[in-house]
Amino acid sequence: MTVKRVGLVVHGGREEAPAACELVRKWCAERGVTCTDIDVWHNRRRNAEDEVEAAGNPDLIVTLGGDGTFLRGARLAAANNALLLGIDLGRVGFLTEVPISEITTALDAVWEHQITIDSRMLLTLRVSRRLELPEDMERWASVYGRGSLLPAPKVRDDGEACDEWGIPLNVSGINDIVLEKLSRDHQISVGVYVGGHLLAAYSADALVVATPTGSTAYSFAAGGPIVSPRAEAIVFTPVAPHMAFDRSVVVGPDEPVGLRLLERSGNAAVTIDGQLRGLLEPDDWIGVYAAQRRLRAVRLGPTDFYGRLRERMNLTDAPAAVADGFAGPIWSFTTPPPADMSHLTLAIDEVDEVDEDGVSI
């Protein structure tokens, strides 16, 4: 695709942000590309479709910040089927991979079609009734939260609404959709269904439904598994459940997860990628499932997810293992894989020609 319009999403709290912005704007000006700032932090918040329309429907969203900024840009990119390029100005992130020193290189790669498109699963949901936020919630968020709230999600115009299947919302989550309690002294009681079958009724602080991308976020903090972003799956994780079964459940991408508040449960908040989007009352329900649309993130080359995992999570080796030997940074392969392994993704070193004694020529 040819880049004609760039939308710029910036975390102004990073000291490197002004210089990074200037690099992007200069690159755009030199190529006659329109560059529009999209304020997703301070001004009155709007739905993603309205924000990208106001920005001229950019075909490339560039985020300058950490994972939180990337998620805000992802919401816009998914709404417009735009490419998403994340520049890393953050501290502990998995989503942004391009350092500030490579901004121009990354933009050139997009311009010259020398990139890999990383297609990521998104979540969406149907609800028993439209999500709404109390009028005083905006004031509460401005005092105790981080900026203004997003409006309640719109109804999707390409999906049929009915009493049994619910109302389809025009919203996407790249990390997770969470149902969580509003009061410290009152947990939520929720019947959890997978593919229409009851898994269990939980009394918990929260229930997290995450993508593989989001498996390293809230779900992981609650004890959930780390799932490769290349996988196609949905991860359900209860947070502080009052029951013996407190494990995560990994389900197929075609299996929706239903969450129904029981009749005497406390009220619950619905958050999408950490953003409060509505409140539920007893007997309300949401159905979370894989969206038809995908996030298209720009990658400059193969992603070392596991090296990043080791670094960002500060993984250390067992002292007993260290005493027994050294584990190299990769399992080094210097010859092509055998035929039965040629379809696998492996970190293979560049192979030199060797003579009959195995010496490089």
Query: What residues are labeled active site?
Result: 67
CA 355 to chain centre: 48
Closest to 74 measured CA to CA, from 302, 300, 296, 274: 296
Helix ranges (DSSP H) in 253-347: 305-312, 319-324
CB atoms under 10 Å from CB of 140, counted, come to 13
Does residue 30 sit in helix, strand or coil? helix
Nearest in space to 269 (alpha carbons), one of 140, 166, 178: 178
Backbone φ, ψ for residue 18 (5° rounding): -55, -45
- Tell whether the torsion through CA atoms of 55, 57, 59 and 65 is positive or negative: positive
Concatenated DSSP letters of 222-277: TTPPP--TTS--EEEEEES-SSS----EEE-TT--EEEEE-TTPPPEEEEETTEEE
Gap between the Cα atoms of 182 and 278, Å rounded = 11
CB distance 89 to 64 below 8 Å: yes
C-beta separation of 111 from 31 below 8 A:
yes
Closest by CA position to 61, among listed 31, 42, 81, 32? 81
Exposure string over 194-227, b if 16+ CB within 10 A, otherwise e: beeeebeebbbbbbbbbbbbbbbbbbbebebbeb
Residue 305: DSSP 8-state: H
The DSSP secondary-structure symbol of 173 reads B
Taking Cα atoms as reference points, which of 304, 300, 302 lies closest to residue 114? 300
